[in-house]
Amino acid sequence: MRFATIRNPLKRKQWEEFIETAHGKLREKRIDLRFNTVKVDGSVARATTVLPAVYFAFAQDCSRKWVELELRPRTVDGQRKPQRELYAFLKANLPGRMPALQHRLAWDDEQGNAAKERTSGEDMRIKVYLDESDEHQWIEAMVRLASRTLPFLDRFASSAH
Determine the pLDDT at residue 115. Answer: 44
Determine the pLDDT at residue 27. Answer: 95
Determine the pLDDT at residue 113. Answer: 45
d(CA 97, CA 115): 24
Determine the pLDDT at residue 49. Answer: 87
Which pTM does this prediction carry?
0.83
Largest CA distance in the chain: 45
Q: Which domains, ranges and CATH numbers included, belong to the chain?
A: 3-160 (3.30.1460)
Helix or strand holding residue 35 (H, E): strand 35-38
Neighbours of 19 (CB within 10 A): 20
Say how far residue 111 (Cα) sits from the centre of its chain. 17
Determine the pLDDT at residue 112. Answer: 53
From first to last of its 161 residues, the chain has per-residue pLDDT tens of 566 677 788 888 889 999 999 999 999 999 999 897 888 888 899 998 888 899 999 999 888 899 999 999 988 888 888 888 999 999 888 876 655 555 667 887 765 544 444 444 578 898 988 877 788 989 999 999 999 899 999 988 888 65
What are the residue ranges of helices labelled H in the chain? 9-28, 84-93, 112-118, 135-160
